[in-house]
Amino acid sequence: MDALKDKLKEVLASVLPITIIVVVLHFTISPLNSSMFYAFLLGSVLVIIGLTVFLFGIDQGLEPIGHGIGNTLAHSKVFAVIITICLVLGFFISFAEPDLHILASQVDSVTSGQFGRLLMVIVVSIGIAVMMTLGMLRILKGVRLKYVFTAAYGLILILSFFSTPDFIAIAFDASGATTGAITVPFMLALAAGISAMKSDSKESEADNFGLIGIASTGAILGVLITGVIFGIEKLGGVLPEQTITDTSLWHVYSSRILRIAWEALMSLLPIIIVYILFQIFVFKQKKNRVLDISRGIFLTFFGLVVFLLGVNGGFMAVGTQLGIQLASMESKVPVLLVALFLGLTTVLAEPAVHVLTHQVEDVTGGSVSRTLVLIFLSVAVGLSILMSALRILLPGLKLWMYLLPGFGIAVILAYFVPELFVGMAFDAGGVASGPMTATFSLAFVQGIAAQVPSADLVSDGFGMIAIVAMMPIVAIELLGALYQLKTHKVSKAKISKQEIIETKISKQETIGGSHG
């Protein structure tokens, strides 16, 4: 019960700031339709309840399953078995990720079906499966993370020269959106399960992170390769209507619940099937343990349904409406300020962010505080949404002007910060862009793009998640550099203290010897 209370406190601190921002805007500069406003308030309550139950369920169900499978793979000596299991797991976990379907639906509707929902989900899932498998093999073989990321982003850079700005924006958005509420906890648990089998504790600590970052490059590669193969020159489209009219709140939510419940079930189904197979052939856990994990899976499912219902029912339409209203004002200061504050707060409501920051604190034994990681992530995402809004308002500012130097700096920094922070940073890039970002923040930015005459709805409306996925990488690597500096100073101080003590002892021995 105490664990549930702690989760509730954590979630309230995350979701209330966003709710307060929207309420203040509603009563001041950006009044909303009353039906839309009430739907948003109910959505906020559902997000709080859903996220609390979801996070509690993850601890009870998904994490033990991931750890168990990771341990089993680490013990297996047959690489063909490991590769097959990883490819199948990677594909189906990604294929079932709700965030990916949200983004793919938005791409489908905005591009008027030129880049279809199913095609996007399939190519991203194949990319994730391949790169997740390579990430698992990297842990087993002990390949350094910096070399993997250098190779992956080098290939992405080469493919970018043959791609259009539209496909680049969608590809980088896909990398952020696909590492969501289900994928992240499971991949973190898988990596931890394999890493726990390593004898070198320092190496094992570092290997807990990086798998999500490697897997998310697969999403970028999948979309870019598809764009090159199909040779589509320009994606075009219009923003679909995102309004809640005077329909009752009951209708707003009841019309979505069955679809969301089905999507949530499909998200968890691959993990449930894998757990059943492993339980029959490998785990053979006792009845009580199976019941505990089953309860955890049910709570994860229930929490995810309630959370996604709140996000889809009350958040997306409000995000679009705020973007349109604020962008249509004469002064552009309000839209930029709101973009900054939205970024600072929405990341705190991402389910995967809480899972990652807890794991960071657990793995490092508290030496890297989760509060500090949250502050760095919050500032990074705040700046990301601000940069996205600026890019739409200033026609000369292109997405590559952010991404090329940003990811370039991220790869260079990987050679100068501790390995633990490299994995943590690239994982943070994926987890910062979850359901809240893929719905509320993306809808807000697309609302701005729809209102600015010089903006292109596809290349400017998308690309925000790409910036959100990039900035936390640089931020956490900078945190790593500060951590390294701090530990270096502490160890230097310890050495000098030790030298002083040794000098005193040798002096005393000398004096003692001369008296003798």
Decide if 220 contacts 462 (C-beta within 8 A). Answer: no
What is the pLDDT at residue 183?
Answer: 81
Tokens 């969501």 belong to which residue? 180
pLDDT score, position 215:
92
* CA separation for the pair 20, 40 (Å, rounded): 11
| 8-state DSSP, 439 | I
Given phi > 0 = left and psi -120 to 50 = alpha, else beta, which region is 329?
beta
Taking the domains of the chain in order of start, what are their residue ranges?
A: 2-482
Which of 412, 360, 404, 483 minimizes the C-alpha distance to 146?
A: 412
Cβ neighbours of 456 (radius 10 Å): 18
Q: Could you give the CA distance from residue 469 to residue 459 in angstroms, rounded to a whole number?
A: 17
- Identify the pLDDT of residue 242: 47
User: In angstroms, rounded to a whole number, what is the distance separating the alpha carbons of residues 72 and 204?
Assistant: 16
Q: Which residue has the tokens 């931890």?
A: 192
Q: Which two structure tokens, joined as six digits, stand for 36?
A: 């839309």
Helix, strand or coil, per DSSP, at residue 29: coil
Q: What is the mean pLDDT of each run of 10 residues along the chain (516 residues)?
A: 81 83 92 89 91 87 86 81 88 80 79 82 94 91 91 93 85 80 81 76 74 92 90 63 58 85 86 89 89 94 90 82 90 92 83 80 80 90 92 87 91 91 87 73 86 79 82 90 81 69 67 59
pLDDT at 249: 76
What pLDDT shows up at residue 464? 83
Cβ neighbours for 88, distance < 8 A, ≥ 6 positions apart: 129
- Provide, for the chain, the percentages of residues in helix, strand and coil under a 3-state DSSP scheme, each rounded to the nearest 5: 80, 0, 20
Whole-angstrom distance between the N-terminal and C-terminal Cα of the chain?
A: 69
